[in-house]
Amino acid sequence: MTKTCLLAAMLLALATPAMAQDEPPTPDSVVAAAAPEEWQRIAPEDLLVMELAPAADGTGRKVVIQLLPPPFSQPWVEDIKTMARAHWWDGKSVYRVVDNWVAQWGGGDPELGMDPGPLPDGVVSPTDSYMIGFNNMGSTVKASPTLTDHYAPETHFEQGFAVGETIAEQMTWQWPVHCYGSVGVARELAPDTGTGSELYAVIGHAARQLDRNIAVVGRVIEGIEHLSTLPRGTAEAGVYAERSEDTPIVSVRLASEMRQPPAYEYLDTSSDSFARYVEVRANRSDSFYAVPAGGVDICNVQVPIRRAE
Amino acid sequence: MTKTCLLAAMLLALATPAMAQDEPPTPDSVVAAAAPEEWQRIAPEDLLVMELAPAADGTGRKVVIQLLPPPFSQPWVEDIKTMARAHWWDGKSVYRVVDNWVAQWGGGDPELGMDPGPLPDGVVSPTDSYMIGFNNMGSTVKASPTLTDHYAPETHFEQGFAVGETIAEQMTWQWPVHCYGSVGVARELAPDTGTGSELYAVIGHAARQLDRNIAVVGRVIEGIEHLSTLPRGTAEAGVYAERSEDTPIVSVRLASEMRQPPAYEYLDTSSDSFARYVEVRANRSDSFYAVPAGGVDICNVQVPIRRAE
């Protein structure tokens, strides 16, 4: 490093696309141009609506979670639905928030002064299986554009969710990955200790090292800011030091059991528009961008989701 | 996908390392074992201390930023120091917060009801150069472990900062990348419109598409939670709708001008301990982890930083 200099403006000029007659596409413009049939309705039985106690200024705080649909739903998803139907989370709390990591909620730990109480009838025993396998060897059909990855041999999207994939024993194995907003099943050290009654959402950089180590069961599709803006916990592992710091959960309901459920749709991740969206995200050439990245990581491809009628 | 089944526990068992006599290393244990000489003191003139108005409950809110050191400092860094010495940011505000994106502060825009006023004497004109070049072709010395990347031909660490690297015209070009906590120079559409008087910090998943498009000038090393927990703005582009929602900046000072400056050191990114730290982060085998990732992305390798005496 004998000489330091600034990059000649020339190089930058080379990287700047010539001004086109038409404004280059943006991720938003691609999504706006998607055909109506490229949008997929999210089933109301896959939507979990968590209402937190209002903020100090009275603002309502609703967090909407899309649970993984079949066949990607993991054994916990059915248990989570059972717990929601039993109103198990009502009166529980968000008790742990770690910056650039997770916000966690549920019944909590008696050792921390919480009283989770017994789980509702019908919740099955925990399991430590958190990959889903398909014997689709030989199939060349891909559900979405494929992205290289640091943490998995391959990543792509299935039914609107980012998944990692590997091949073993002539089977294709897939697993939902941890991106911003992903919701997973908290557990203790042993892999079979998560029941689904304690959940977390990622509120920072993709926590991909958790992939295949903790089960992802869904993602926040609306209201993540009500979790990501919560004060960070100061006790061990980011748990709040005092129970008075917890954010109470008013209710958690399946949209399918609500009188006026919110409705959403996502851009079909096997659609042409989604493929174009990924391409444009990887190669921004609209007015703000002088140097297109030429690539994108799976967690930087947020699946477009919108409210439905 | 004719058949769905859960991964046999056997596969997981294969991936689980045999219980060792000694507990496997963790990122924390590697850092704790680093030799004193592997820690580098951060120069006080590279530390920017921003004090925000206290939170509603009276809690102090101090955000400490490490500016890029020479030769990685960009033209803006000297201007930022000039503005700090002139107390230019005192009385300004954090006026824009976008979830999973950035928190932004400075004098703001008169069109938004803010009065930035003139910049202090000595601030040079904006420039649109934001890469640093070295004619170190032929050198095989690497400053830190090298990581593959989606956004750059290569990434590694230089003087404690994550950088992208490419080779062009027989020169090595490097640029600091956007990770969680990175601080950059806000600008308008034209690349030469950033003065350094408006800054942002990344508060979500690594905004790598901004690399080489906006200049990174440093990173938050303490107090990022005072930015990441701020309410999200509801007006255009995440600006607060009312100026009363802004978070006032009490002061921004260089540590070198403070009577009782905070002091920090970082783990030398060219040290053996740092190389081991990266390796362990990519291959977690301690008790919580059943399946080591086998890889890590550059923004998931947080450079260890600690308070110094």
Which of A34-38, B12-16, B288-292 tops mean pLDDT?
A34-38
| Confidence band, pLDDT 50/70/90 cuts, at residue B255 | very high
Q: According to DSSP H, which parts of A164-261 are helical?
A: 225-228
CA distance A206 to chain B (A): 6
Q: What is the band of B145 on the pLDDT scale with cuts at 50, 70, 90? A: confident
What average pLDDT does chain A have?
Answer: 87
Predicted TM-score (pTM) of this structure: 0.90
Residue B9 pLDDT > 70, yes or no? no
Q: Identify the pLDDT of residue A167.
A: 85
pLDDT of the residue at A23? 83
- Which residue from B173, B204, B225 is facing A7, i.e. has the nearest CB? B173
* pLDDT band per the 50, 70, 90 thresholds, residue B131: low
Give residue B270's pLDDT. Answer: 93
Q: Is the per-residue pLDDT at B180 higher than 70? A: yes
Cβ pair A236, A109 in contact under 8 A: no
The answer to whether A224 contacts B148, with C-beta atoms less than 8 Å apart, is: no
Q: Do A209 and B5 count as a contact with CB atoms less than 8 A apart?
A: no
Model confidence pLDDT, tens digit, residues B71-107: 777 788 999 999 999 999 999 999 999 999 999 999 9
Do A154 and A148 contact (CB within 8 A), yes or no? yes
What is the DSSP secondary-structure string of chain B? ---EEEPPHHHHHHHSPPPPSSPPP-HHHHHHT--GGGEEEPPGGGEEEEEEPPPTT---EEEEEEEPPTTT--HHHHHHHHHHHTTTTTT-EEEEE-TTSEEEEES--GGGT----PPPTTPPPP-----EEE--TT----SS--B--SSSSEEEEETTEEEEEEEETTEEEEEE---TTEEEE---SSTT---SSSEEEE-SS--GGGTTTS-EEEEEEE-THHHHTSPPP-SGGGB-SSGGGSEEEEEEEEGGG-SS---EEEE-TTSHHHHHHHHHHHS--STT-SS--S---GGGSPPPEEE--
For an interface test with B, give the residue of A3, A16, A76, A99 to mutate (most B CBs within 10 A). A99
| Residue among B136, B191, B284 minimizing CB distance to A209 | B284
What's phi and psi for B166, nearest 5 deg? -145, 165
State the nearest Cα–Cα gap between A285 and chain B, in angstroms. 11
- Which of chain A's residues have a Cβ under 8 Å away from the Cβ of B124? none
Q: Do B225 and A232 touch (CB under 8 A)?
A: yes
The rounded distance, in Å, linking the Cα atoms of B155 and B133 is: 15
A125 pLDDT more than 90:
no
> Which residue in B73, B99, B177 has the most chain A C-beta atoms within 10 A of its own C-beta, making it the best mutation to test that interface?
B99
Percent of chain A with pLDDT over 70: 87
The reply to whether residue B206 touches residue A208, judged by beta carbons under 8 angstroms, is no
Q: What is the mean pLDDT of chain B?
A: 87
Whole-number pLDDT of residue A143? 67
| % of residues, chain A, pLDDT over 90 | 63
Instruction: For chain B, give the percent of residues with pLDDT over 90.
Output: 63
Taking 70 as the threshold, does the pLDDT of residue B30 lie above it?
yes
Three-state secondary-structure class, residue A267: strand
Contact B206 A293 (CB under 8 A): no
Q: Is the peptide bond before B71 cis (omega within 30 degrees of 0)?
A: yes
% pLDDT > 70, chain B:
87
Where is pLDDT greater, at A105 or B195? A105
Distance from CA of B240 to the nearest CA of A (A): 15
Among partner residues B208, B284, B294, which is closest to A293 by beta-carbon distance?
A: B208
pLDDT above 70 (res A296): yes
Q: Say if residue A3's pLDDT is above 70.
A: no
pLDDT higher than 50, residue B167? yes
Q: What is the pLDDT of residue B251?
A: 98
Q: Give chain A positions within 8 Å (CB) of B6.
A: 75, 127, 129, 131-133
Residue of chain A whose alpha carbon sits nearest to that of B283: A209
Chain A CB contacts of B224 under 8 Å are 99-100
Q: Is the pLDDT of residue A124 over 90?
A: no
Identity of the residue in A56, A129, A208 whose CB atom sits nearest the CB atom of B7: A129
User: Would you state the pLDDT for residue A141?
Assistant: 53
Q: Output the pLDDT for position B136.
A: 55
Q: Residue A9: its pLDDT value, please?
A: 30
User: Closest partner residue to A228 among B99, B127, B296, by Cβ?
Assistant: B99
Tens-place pLDDT, residues A97-116: 999 999 999 999 898 889 99
B180 closest CB neighbour out of A134, A204, A295: A204
pLDDT band for position A55 (cuts 50, 70, 90): very high
CB within 8 Å of A102: residues ≥ 6 apart? A96, A200, A201, A202, A203, A204, A207, A238
Question: Which of A1-10, A28-37, A65-74, B278-287 shows the lowest mean pLDDT across its residues?
Answer: A1-10
Region B213-228 average pLDDT: 95
Q: For position B10, what pLDDT does the model report?
A: 28
DSSP annotation of A255: G
Residue A229 with chain B: CB contacts under 8 Å:
228-232
- Residue B148 is predicted with a pLDDT of 77
- Write down the pLDDT at residue B5: 32
pLDDT reported for residue B70? 79
> What confidence tens digit (pLDDT) does each residue in B47-77 have?
999 999 999 989 999 999 999 987 777 788 9
pLDDT at A144 over 80: no
* pLDDT for position B12: 34
Distance from CA of B142 to the nearest CA of A (A): 11
Between A225 and A110, the more confident residue is A225
**Closest residue, chain A, to B212 (C-alpha):** A291
Residue B188 in this model has a pLDDT that exceeds 80: yes
| pLDDT given for residue B135 in this prediction | 59
pLDDT score for A105 = 98
Question: B300 contacts in A (CB within 8 Å)?
Answer: 205-209
User: Could you give the domains of chain B?
Assistant: 41-126+179-267+288-307 (2.40.100.10)
Query: Comparing B245 with A122, which gets the higher pLDDT?
Result: B245
pLDDT tens for each residue of A59-88: 999 999 999 987 777 788 999 999 999 999
